[in-house]
A and B are shown apart, each in its own frame.
Chain A
Amino acid sequence: MPQPGTPLFLERRSYRVRRVMDAVRLLPVLGLALWMVPLLWPVADPLPPVQDGAATPVSMSAALTYIFGVWAGLIVLCLLLWSRARRIPPDTAPSGQG
């Protein structure tokens, strides 16, 4: 429920600011999800595979590329959001959670 005195709908600019902040809030969730993907990868099994065609383990270079790729992507996104939020003057930025 909106507090008295705060508008229910915003003009375009403030609306944009709030959506940028939403993205900032959700970014770590995205990062966590992507970095937990390796949990699903097949692991080299010390026992011989029971059946043929069992998934081959992921190679280290692929794993490295994936993890560092996610890392770089998150940093770039975070940088973009920061520069986006910075261009908007602070007095129009919402103080609440909006």
Chain B
Amino acid sequence: MASLNTLIAVCLIYVAFLFGVAFAAERAGIRGRAGWLLRSPLVYTLSLSIYCTAWTFYGAVGYAARSGLEYVTIYLGPSLVMIGWWWVLRRLVRIGRSHKVTSIADLISSRYGKSNTLAIVVTLMAVIGVTPYIALQLQSVTLSLSIFASAEGAATRIDSASSALWVAAGLALFTVLFGTRNLNANERHHGVVIAVAVEAVVKLVALLAVGIFVVWGVAGGLPQTLARIDASPIGTWQMQGSRWAALTVLSAAAFLCLPRMFQVMVVENDDERHLQIASWAFPLYLMLMSLFVVPIAVVGLDLLPPGSNPDLFVLSLPLSQGRDGLATLSFLGGFSSATSMVIVATLALSTMVSNHVVMPIWLTLRTGGATQSGDVRDVVIFARRVSILVIIALGYVYYRASGGSGALAAIGLISFAGVAQFLPVTLGGIFWRGATRMGALVGLGTGFGLWVYTMLLPGFGAGAILPAGVIDAGPWGISWLRPQALFGVEGLDPTVHAVLWSLALNSLSFVVVSLVTFPRPLERLQGAQFVNIFDHSGQARGWNASVAESEDLMIMAQRILGAAEAQSLFQSEARRQGLSGHLPEPTPKFVQGLERELAGSVGAATAHAMIGQIVGGTSVSVQDLMAVADESAQMLEYSSQLEAKSRELSQTAAQLREANEKLTELSLQKDAFLSQISHELRTPMTSIRAFSEILRDTEGLHPEEKTKYASIIHVETIRLTRLLDDLLDLSVLENGQVTLNRQSGALSDVLDHAITTAQASTDGRIAIRRSRGNEAVMLQTDLDRLSQVFINLITNAQKYCAADAPALTIDVARDGGAVVVDFIDNGSGIPAQARQVMFEKFSRLGLQDNKGAGLGLAICREIMHRLGGDVVYRTGTGGTAFRVILPQAQSLAAQ
């Protein structure tokens, strides 16, 4: 048998070890070393395990022994919350980080317009709600000590009251030492977190060790254990469905709202990515913690004498088997569970109490207000220490008052239901912009009142606080007000009844009052920021700080942050603003940032109030809100305008580039044309000169020779004239000076004329195919000009068609209202890059010949434009194809 003294010695050594670890972590944190460990996802996940308190360690087995699998609901809820981190936790952590939230009370007060009233209400509710839980831890440690004592024999009976007192004192000492060392921004406590992580490992190892011992050491293996479970009193599924669902919801709610969970999950969070890792790692931890609960309970019920307290099977089972070492380990596990919970819970609560209750009162009492000199930090730290002592003392008093008798699970559920009242307000605050401060106050009040009336007071037992008559018949005999059968709903399980009514009416009144009240400007501002946390994490401006004196701000900041830190903060801001002195201009942005820094130490509401005293009240008005909205709307509009402009610019640039390319090409063509035209002019001129010189100078020419030379001169002159005519024609067309000679005639006649003319001028080697049936179209246009176009196209085909047996198909068709005439030859077509410029003046394809000046197509197009039609190149016909389009007005259907 392990003697009680050995146990206490082991306990003390363990505590000393924890002190050492916490101290080392604190030192390493200050020096900035070991950051990889302090800020690792592993430590984050393990620190979340303060959810598993002594209630889990001892109570779960007792719970299972009494009501089967129901205990597991307490871990299913949090597992679901963690697995569903994306929905709620992600938002909470982001909000906590970007608004430097210090506690759940701070979150709620900050969301609802930095309302201090709300902060005080939440703080008081949290203290009342968590007190039973702290009492539960004291009770479990005391109970576990008494087991060892009773095992040792009656000689060393221990006084449960005094041992609880000692435990409480030790916990208070640890919390004061490590929880209030610094008034750091963001309230991060490396020492405490690392100690909690170590304790998390100890309790997991202890519970697993007992479980493995029971399954393989006592029961003799897994199949035997399962058989034993089925044969035990809890061997079948016996569960009220309502309890199963309600407890799962309740534990999920409590997991989000417990001040200590908020502390480790949100406030101590270093990196949002840790949350994703914890999303599977923490459910794993919970599963391992609850894995062996049922086997231990079943084997305990089997082996231990009837009447033993099932809450202590984890201890008494190894003791009864003579495994003192295992029992000691198990005791340390339970001790760890209890201590880590008490430490973090009191730390979280003391932060809330000092920030939201003590500081505002102190600020009001000191009429000098925030500008007064003197270090506030001492006050804050002192307030925290006192709060820690008071909270632990309250837990102790509750323990004594409740007689330390109730089953652990029942006490735990009371506490859970109390803090779960924060859930509607918290979720409403982060998802619904319409939630207002009045709604939150009424909702919290309703829920909390109902919880006290239906759960907390009856929990002390009939006659303790509420007279038995009230519980049985209702106050003043009004039966529908009975605490455990409200509105006449009877037959419900008391826990389900209390959770259902309190949460339902809480949510209802919160929503209804929010709907009918109108929020203050600051509430709307904060609401928008909390709900849209992922859209714009930046803080909107809140202060009109021109009236604030930097010096006043400096004095105040020094009192809260400490002289050195405040000075460096102000100096860096001054440098950023480009000022040489120590004091920056109090720009709204700076004041906002300063408020946030202060909020990290004393909470949002207090920081807001302190800044408000200097700057002169809250400066946010509806106009400011509108301005903020306007600003962002303007920015949005401006950026979309910019976008449109840049799109336009890039389009214009592309067009310019295209035009430039075209111009360059044209200029090249012009150069080529000039040399070509000089050549064209020069060749006939040369022969004209040469032959005219011969005619003039040579004596005795035969008349035939004279005639021959004169006709050469004549032909060359005609060629020159034609060239000049073309140029003149084009210039006239382009200048729009042409007068159209409108007449009516048949398309077929025009084509006939064109073909005859074209073939007359050359050798007419091209075969022309026509479809005369379609050509019966009457036209009302300048037929001579149209004929000119046709002649040009046919001549082109004759000149350039490279096929062995050149053929030209002339096809007439109707396209919509217009008549189209296609000239398709069986040549090689025109290369794509040439198509762009072939209708330009002086454009010639390649170097084929020197017969044309490259004006034909340009003239054709000009004529067709004048006639209101067009001529285009057709692709996809296999040869070169032009389409002449005659608009409707000019084509009259032949009768």
Q: Which residues of A contact B (CB under 8 A)?
A: 4-5, 21, 24-25, 27-29, 31-32, 35-36, 38-39, 41-44, 57-64, 67-68, 71-72, 74-75, 78-79, 82, 85-86, 95-96
Which of the 9-residue segments B206-214, B273-281, B425-433 touches chain A? B273-281
- A32 adjacent to B238 (CB under 8 Å): no
Known pairs A75-B280, A82-B279; A27 contacts B83 (CB<8 A): yes
Q: Which residues, 188 to 234 on B, are CB-close (under 8 Å) to A?
A: 226-227, 229-230, 232, 234
Distance of A96 Cα from B535 Cα, bound (Å)? 8
A64 to chain B, nearest CB (A): 6
Known pairs A4-B640, A44-B237, A71-B283; A59 contacts B83 (CB<8 A): no
Contact of B236 among A24, A35, A60, A79 (CB under 8 A): A60
By a CB distance below 8 angstroms, the chain A residues around B79 are: 31, 71, 74
Q: Which residue on A lies nearest to B291, using beta carbons?
A: A68
Distance of A57 Cα from B69 Cα, bound (Å)? 14
Distance of A8 Cα from B569 Cα, bound (Å)? 45
- B237 adjacent to A57 (CB under 8 Å): yes
Distance of A9 Cα from B213 Cα, bound (Å)? 57
**B294: CB under 8 A from chain A?**
yes
Known pairs A74-B79, A95-B534; A59 contacts B287 (CB<8 A): no
By a CB distance below 8 angstroms, the chain B residues around A63 are: 69, 237
The 10 closest A-B pairs by CB, nearest first: A28-B84, A78-B280, A58-B237, A61-B226, A57-B236, A39-B241, A79-B280, A71-B287, A59-B230, A60-B235
13 additional contacts (CB under 8 A) given A36-B244, A64-B69: A25-B87, A31-B83, A31-B84, A35-B248, A39-B244, A39-B245, A59-B237, A60-B69, A60-B232, A74-B83, A75-B284, A82-B277, A82-B279
Q: Which residue on B lies nearest to A83, using beta carbons?
A: B280
**B76: CB under 8 A from chain A?**
yes
By a CB distance below 8 angstroms, the chain A residues around B87 are: 25, 28
- A58 adjacent to B236 (CB under 8 Å): yes
- A38 adjacent to B234 (CB under 8 Å): no
B353 to chain A, nearest CB (A): 34
By a CB distance below 8 angstroms, the chain B residues around A71 are: 76, 79, 283, 287
Contact of A27 among B84, B248, B284, B643 (CB under 8 A): B84
Interface string of B98-116 (1 = CB under 8 A from A): 0000000000000000000
A-B pairs under 8 A by CB, number = 105
- A25 adjacent to B86 (CB under 8 Å): yes
Known pairs A31-B79, A60-B234, A82-B276; A67 contacts B72 (CB<8 A): yes
B339 to chain A, nearest CB (A): 28
- A21 adjacent to B76 (CB under 8 Å): no
Known pairs A60-B294, A61-B226, A64-B294; A82 contacts B280 (CB<8 A): yes
**B600: CB under 8 A from chain A?**
no
Residue in B69, B84, B534 with the greatest tally of chain A CB atoms within 10 Å:
B84
Known pairs A35-B76, A60-B236; A67 contacts B69 (CB<8 A): yes
Q: Which residue on B lies nearest to A76, using beta carbons?
A: B280
Interface string of B280-317 (1 = CB under 8 A from A): 10011001000100100000000000000000000000
**B68: CB under 8 A from chain A?**
yes
Q: Which residue on B lies nearest to A22, using beta carbons?
A: B86
Contact of A78 among B68, B72, B232, B283 (CB under 8 A): B283
**B80: CB under 8 A from chain A?**
yes
**B239: CB under 8 A from chain A?**
yes
Residue in A31, A63, A72 with the greatest tally of chain B CB atoms within 10 Å:
A63
B637 to chain A, nearest CB (A): 11
- B276 adjacent to A38 (CB under 8 Å): no
- A57 adjacent to B294 (CB under 8 Å): no
- B237 adjacent to A43 (CB under 8 Å): yes
Distance of A25 Cα from B229 Cα, bound (Å)? 36
- A60 adjacent to B237 (CB under 8 Å): yes
B532 to chain A, nearest CB (A): 12
Distance of A64 Cα from B756 Cα, bound (Å)? 104
Q: Which residues, 235 to 261 on B, are CB-close (under 8 Å) to A?
A: 235-241, 244-245, 248
Q: Which residue on B lies nearest to A21, using beta carbons?
A: B86
Contact of B239 among A21, A25, A43, A61 (CB under 8 A): A43
Known pairs A61-B229, A95-B534; A38 contacts B237 (CB<8 A): yes
A85 to chain B, nearest CB (A): 7
A87 to chain B, nearest CB (A): 13
By a CB distance below 8 angstroms, the chain B residues around A25 are: 84, 86-87
Interface string of B457-487 (1 = CB under 8 A from A): 0000000000000000000000000000000
B415 to chain A, nearest CB (A): 23
By a CB distance below 8 angstroms, the chain B residues around A21 are: 86
Pairs across A and B, CB under 8 Å, 18 listed: A4-B640, A24-B86, A25-B84, A25-B86, A27-B84, A28-B83, A35-B76, A38-B237, A41-B237, A43-B237, A43-B239, A57-B237, A59-B230, A60-B234, A67-B69, A75-B280, A75-B287, A85-B276
By a CB distance below 8 angstroms, the chain A residues around B86 are: 21, 24-25
Q: Which residue on A lies nearest to B639, using beta carbons?
A: A5
Q: Which residue on A lies nearest to B241, using beta carbons?
A: A39
By a CB distance below 8 angstroms, the chain A residues around B84 are: 25, 27-29, 31
Distance of A95 Cα from B87 Cα, bound (Å)? 14
Distance of A79 Cα from B173 Cα, bound (Å)? 39
By a CB distance below 8 angstroms, the chain A residues around B81 are: 28
Contact of B80 among A5, A32, A41, A44 (CB under 8 A): A32
Q: Which residue on B lies nearest to A41, using beta carbons?
A: B237
Distance of A4 Cα from B638 Cα, bound (Å)? 13
